[in-house]
Homo-oligomer: A and B are copies of this chain.
Amino acid sequence: MCANSIGKQFKITTFGESHGGAIGVVIDGCPAGVSVTEDDINAALEKRRPDGSVSSTPRREPDRGYLISGVFNGKTTGAPVTVIIKNEDARSEDYETVSEYFRPGHADFTYHHKYGGLNDPRGGGRSSGRETACRVAAGAVARAFLAPLKLDLFAHTVQIGSIKTTIFERTAIESSPLKCADRAAEESMLRLIDGCKDSGDSIGGMVELQILNVPVGLGEPVFDRLDARLAYAIMGIPAVKGVDIGEGFAVASAYGSENNDQMSDNRFLSNHAGGIQGGISNGQPVVLRAAVKPTPSISKMQRTVTKNGENAEVNVAGRYDVCIVPRIVPVIEAMAWITLADFVMTRPGPGL
């Protein structure tokens, strides 16, 4: 199955392995006339870059994106837009020591069996989180394309381990190492992460996505509903294990009389639906949460097997993120931009 593309009308295709020559993305369907520069793309990539803080890998990934097609004189031309990111700091030796083992919690086992042992295992190869840099680059183009719509879209960390945010101070997010809107909670989160680092462990968390100023009418029944497509795009990010929208899992114990969003004066009186009804945006904020698992690379002895089927114990040393959550934040934003761009391309028809 051709599975390295997403989108029907604003379609991105990613390619490349963690330790190959380069990774990259081709965007097909972006119309002519979108103002976008290499700097826009690199600013987005910067948000995903490990910042060297406690939470993330000390691997320095310059992650410099090069725009090699589809943009001329600062504007898209209607031809495919391609971004290439070279792999400059790939120290294969770190990874090669473990290449004979299936690292617990990683995709090593499934890739090995699916591809008959032929996949590139260095640094996780195609399954590496590094591939998501391509999605972030494409997200920057999607965002530029959507700029005229004045959508306001952001994601932020709302939980690390059992610590949840209680305050929402939006201006805090950008400078926050954990992309968190609650500075007090973040301090506790950082201490928790420090503790994990000391003990060689990792920790999960939760990210919330909000999209404001959404026009009414995005989403295409019956299968390309806005909620279904966001779930597809975000559940497709490595480490995400759950997605819910609006009241989400809380609807299971809700009554209709409390869950329905009533209206008055042409406004909704609540937003339990999270901005989506019948799979179509209703103009209210779209609110979505994604559960992010703890990164599987930990410095503890774990039981596994080798490719030859022998039992082994492995300590996955290397330069890894203790908590991947803040680096997932820009990827979720990117996938949301890309998904929205796809819907905005849907033309109502010649007479409308």
Contacts and interface: CB of A to CB of B under 8 A. Distances in A.
B228 A235 contact: yes
Interface in A93-139: 102, 104-107, 109-111, 113-116, 118-120, 125-127, 131
Interface string A11-30: 10111110011111010111
Interface string A198-209: 000111111000
A252 B159 contact: yes
A172 interface: no
Contacts of A292: 251-252
A220 interface: yes
Interface in A266-318: 266, 269, 273-274, 277-282, 291-298, 300, 302-305, 309, 311
Interface in A168-227: 196, 201-206, 216-217, 219-225, 227
A229 interface: yes
Given A217-B110, A225-B236, A245-B241, A79 B280 contact: no
A13 B196 contact: no
B104 A261 contact: yes
A136 to B, nearest CB: 14
Given A77-B125, A114-B280, A247-B241, A311 B265 contact: yes
B15 A2 contact: no
A51 to B, nearest CB: 20
A264 B31 contact: no
Contacts of A107: 221, 277-280
Interface residues on A, range: 35 or more
Nearest to A250: B291
A9 B1 contact: yes
A62 interface: no
A75 B5 CA distance: 22
A228 B109 CA distance: 19
Nearest to A134: B222
B297 A256 contact: yes
Contacts of A241: 227, 244-249, 251, 274
Contacts of A302: 257, 260, 262
Contacts of A114: 78, 216-217, 219, 280
Interface stretch (A41-49, A52-60, A142-150): A142-150
Nearest to A79: B126
A210 to B, nearest CB: 16
A141 interface: no
A80 interface: yes
A167 interface: no
A28 B16 contact: no
Contacts of A30: 349
Given A110-B217, A146-B350, 5 more contacts: A2-B11, A77-B115, A110-B278, A252-B292, A259-B293
Closest 8 CB pairs of A and B: A107-B278, A242-B244, A31-B349, A232-B232, A3-B220, A228-B236, A202-B256, A347-B347
